[in-house]
Amino acid sequence: MRYMLLIYNDEAAMANAPRVSTEQTLAAYGAYTEALKKSGAWLAGDRLRPTQAATSVRMANGKTNVLDGPYADTKEQLAGFYMIEATDIDTAIEWAARCPAASTGTVEVRPIWEMTEYLSEK
């Protein structure tokens, strides 16, 4: 099964972190990504710029409504993601627990809703 690991962090805290700890975080993510790739579980993954760079778009009455800022104002913000291949939720949870974000914020694990399943369930 394919799973998304959605990384949520308090971006203000991350921004204010001292340089040393930023370097450590970077190294931790590097090692983690490497481990994912070596095991064959890695499908995709990237870091997102903080929500100050976010733009939200809505269409209303035929007009495009562009707002600066994220869709939802929450305590922790979406900061990145991995897409992995795992045999089951237990394996996905194991990977999520190893992700550096599990210690600093929250990793939400969501199964990909594959098209074949979507068509047979909807």
Partner 1 sequence: MDSRPEIARAAAEAAARQSYGKLIAYLASRMRDVAGAEDALADAFAAALERWPQTGVPEKPEAWLLAVARRRRVDAIRRRLTSETGRDHLRLIAEEIEARMADEDLPDERLRLMFACAHPAIEAGVRAPLILQTILGFDAATIASAFLVSPATMGQRLVRAKSRIRETGIPFRVPERAEVGERLDAVLEAIYAAFAEGWADPDGTETRRRNLATEGIWLGRLVASLMPDEPEALGLLALMLFAEARRAARRNAAGDYVPLAEQELALWDGALIDEAETLLRRAATKGVVGRYQLEAAVQSAHTTRRLTGRTDWAAIRHLYDALSVIAASPVVSINRAVAIAEADGAAAGLSALDRLGDDKRLHDYQPYWAARAGLLARLGKTREAAAAYDRAIGLERDPAVRRFLQERRAGLAAEE
Applying CB under 8 A, the span of 12-20, 30-38, 61-69, 81-89 interacting with partner 1 comes to: 81-89
Cβ distance to partner 1 smaller for residue 71 or 118: 118
The conformation of residue 72, written as its DSSP 8-state character, comes to S
Query: What residues contact residue 48 under an 8 Å CB cut-off, 6+ apart?
Result: 78, 79, 80, 81
CB of 41 to partner 1, least distance (A): 14
Subset of 7-66 contacting partner 1 (CB under 8 A)? none
CB of 1 to partner 1, least distance (A): 5
What is each CA distance from 51 to 6, 25, 38, in whole angstroms?
15, 19, 31
Using CB under 8 A, which of 86, 96, 101, 107 touches partner 1?
86
